[in-house]
């Protein structure tokens, strides 16, 4: 382990599956924490079978579970629950994203584990949180995105709301969880070594991103509606069709930027118009301003538009798909497209590590594990005898790496 990593010496027990809990653990692992992932011995984490598969295994898994060790263990069985208790006693952090109450039913809830390890920090991610009238409802990211207000804003006016193309609610919950963990570690360090639990709800993680929605409703009774590619109340910020059928994204909503934009598109009159000097005035005339920009872009190709706006120092860009990303030199230069390999040696590109720390950057120290790859080593370290492991294996309580005994 590299001692220069920020989380060197921190041990994490991951009890979650799919996205929210595991994504949080992934980030901790990239910055030096040891992550032990517990997954069911029959099939493992369902994410192993999500999206596109290579030789029966998800290529997404190779990213989500890098830097982790796999302990295949049936959490429903008392013997396995005892293993988790022993591990929790040796860990700094436990991460889980089961429905509220599930761990308590297994004797692995916060009170039980905290009694064994007073310094333990426990991240609990769920759809609606550990309390409240909805806490027992099943909650996936899509539901949290809708309840948090995001789904209502997504899409075109007058058409059905659309989802963001990724599970953004789960990922936002994971990021909030990591923030909570880092603050809890700081609190523990400063105040006598006592741990605490962190209650992250998916819908709250989404709601926390909703900017001005609530205060505007509170003061004005305003309910923001979907606005397609524009950013309501902030002008100009939109997607504009170019001559070649592609769209230019233009964000000219800073006061000085707006003047440069209007000059660049041949409308110095609009740049000098005092009604457009500040955003509130521009927002009242969004249709006129958008029409002027759209008229200009319609006569040029996307590349021509971007070249002119780059010269004028106006923020603008193209709509990237993954092929654009994979070919982009800026992504390459910032190590955001890393080379890896699947278990059979097939080359694999994986996303780089964020955030970028200057003195102690994150790293990929080991690839995603095979199911149960580390079961024997972990159980050996806990003093579980080979005979007992063989018994558990025969009963389906654990799984092991088929390369091992």
pLDDT digits (tens, 9 = 90+) for 177-236: 999 999 999 999 999 999 999 999 999 999 999 999 999 999 999 999 988 888 888 999
Q: What is the pLDDT of residue 332?
A: 96
Q: What percent of the chain has pLDDT over 90?
A: 90
Whole-angstrom Cα distance, residue 128 to residue 139? 7
Inform me whether the pLDDT recorded for 307 exceeds 60: yes
Distance (Å) of CA 318 to CA 321, 326, 387: 10, 14, 61
Token readout for 216 is: 């505007």
Q: pLDDT value at position 2?
A: 44
Single out the residue of 128, 211, 230, 229 nearest to residue 169, CA to CA. 128
Mean pLDDT of 113-134: 97
- What average pLDDT does range 381-404 have in this prediction? 89
The pLDDT of residue 141: 82
Q: Alpha-carbon distance 280 to 271, whole Å?
A: 15
- pLDDT tens for each residue of 225-270: 988 888 888 999 999 999 999 999 999 999 999 999 999 999 999 9
In the block, residue with structure tokens 């692992």: 29
Question: Which is the catalytic residue, given 45, 74, 92, 170?
Answer: 170
DSSP-assigned letters across all residues of 23-48: HHHHHHHHTT-EEEEEE-TTT-SGGG
Residue 1 has pLDDT above 90, yes or no: no
DSSP 123: E
Q: How far apart are CA 204 and CA 213, in angstroms?
A: 14
How far is it, in rounded angstroms, from Cα 207 to Cα 194? 30
Helix, strand, coil percentages (3-state) for the chain, rounded to 5, are: 40, 15, 45
Question: What's the pLDDT score for residue 11?
Answer: 98
Residue 56: pLDDT over 60: yes
Least confident of 2-11, 125-134, 150-159: 2-11
| Average pLDDT score over residue span 379-385 | 96
Give the separation between CA 67 and CA 33, rounded to whole angstroms.
9
308 vs 58: CA distance, rounded Å: 42
By percentage, how much of the chain surpasses pLDDT 70?
A: 98
User: 269: burial class by Cβ within 10 Å (0-12, 13-18, 19+)?
Assistant: exposed
Question: Alpha-carbon distance 114 to 362, whole Å?
Answer: 29
Angle at 157 between CA 318 and CA 278, to 5 degrees: 65
Largest CA distance in the chain: 85
pLDDT score for 139: 83
How many angstroms separate the Cα of 215 from the Cα of each of 149, 207, 231, 279? 14, 13, 17, 19
Q: Give residue-wise pLDDT tens across range 317-369.
A: 999 999 999 999 999 999 999 999 999 999 999 999 999 999 999 999 999 99
- Characterize the bridge pairing of strands 34-39 and 68-73: parallel
Tell me whether residue 170 is one of the annotated catalytic residues: yes
The CA-CA-CA angle for residues 112, 25, 198, to 5°, reads 45
Q: How many CB atoms lie within 10 A of CB 363?
A: 16
Q: How far is CA 175 from the centre of its chain?
A: 6
Give the domains, in start order, of the chain with CATH numbers.
11-208+334-399 (3.40.50.10540), 237-241+247-318 (3.30.1540.10)
């Amino acid at each position: 382990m590299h001692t220069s990593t920020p989380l060197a010496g921190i041990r994490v027990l991951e009890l979650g599956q799919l996205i929210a809990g595991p994504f949080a653990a992934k980030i901790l692992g990239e910055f030096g924490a040891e992550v032990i992932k517990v997954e069911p011995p029959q099939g493992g984490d369902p994410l192993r079978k999500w999206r596109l598969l290579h030789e029966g295994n998800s290529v997404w898994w190779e990213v989500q579970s890098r830097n982790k060790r796999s302990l295949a263990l049936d959490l429903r069985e008392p013997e396995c629950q005892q293993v988790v208790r022993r591990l929790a006693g040796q860990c700094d952090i436990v991460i889980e994203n089961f429905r509220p109450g599930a761990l308590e039913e297994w004797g692995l809830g916060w009170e039980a584990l905290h009694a064994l390890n007073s310094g333990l920090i426990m991240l609990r991610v769920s759809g609606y949180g550990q309390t409240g009238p909805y806490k027992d409802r099943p909650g996936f990211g899509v539901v949290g995105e809708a309840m948090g207000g995001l789904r209502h804003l997504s899409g075109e006016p007058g058409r059905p709301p659309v989802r963001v193309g990724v599970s953004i609610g789960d990922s936002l919950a994971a990021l909030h969880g990591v923030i909570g963990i880092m603050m809890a570690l700081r609190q523990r360090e400063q105040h006598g070594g006592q741990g605490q639990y962190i209650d992250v709800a998916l819908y709250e993680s989404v709601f926390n991103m909703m900017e001005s929605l609530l205060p505007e409703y509170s003061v004005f009774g305003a309910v923001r509606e979907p606005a397609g590619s524009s950013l309501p109340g902030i002008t100009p910020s939109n997607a504009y069709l170019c001559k070649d059928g592609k769209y230019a994204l233009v964000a000219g909503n800073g006061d000085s930027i707006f003047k440069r934009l209007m000059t660049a598109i041949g409308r110095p009159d609009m740049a000098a118009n005092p009604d457009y000097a500040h955003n509130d005035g521009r927002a009242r005339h969004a249709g006129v301003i958008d029409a002027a920009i759209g008229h200009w872009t319609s006569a040029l190709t996307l590349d021509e538009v971007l070249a002119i706006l780059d010269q004028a120092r106006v923020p603008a860009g193209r709509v990237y798909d993954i092929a654009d990303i994979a070919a982009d030199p800026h992504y390459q230069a910032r190590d955001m497209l890393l080379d890896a390999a699947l278990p059979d040696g097939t080359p694999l590109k994986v996303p780089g590590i964020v955030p970028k720390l200057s003195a102690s950057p994150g790293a990929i120290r080991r690839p995603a594990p095979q199911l149960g790859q580390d079961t024997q080593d972990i159980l050996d370290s806990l003093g579980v005898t080979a005979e007992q492991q063989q018994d558990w294996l025969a009963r389906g309580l654990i799984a092991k790496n088929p390369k091992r005994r």
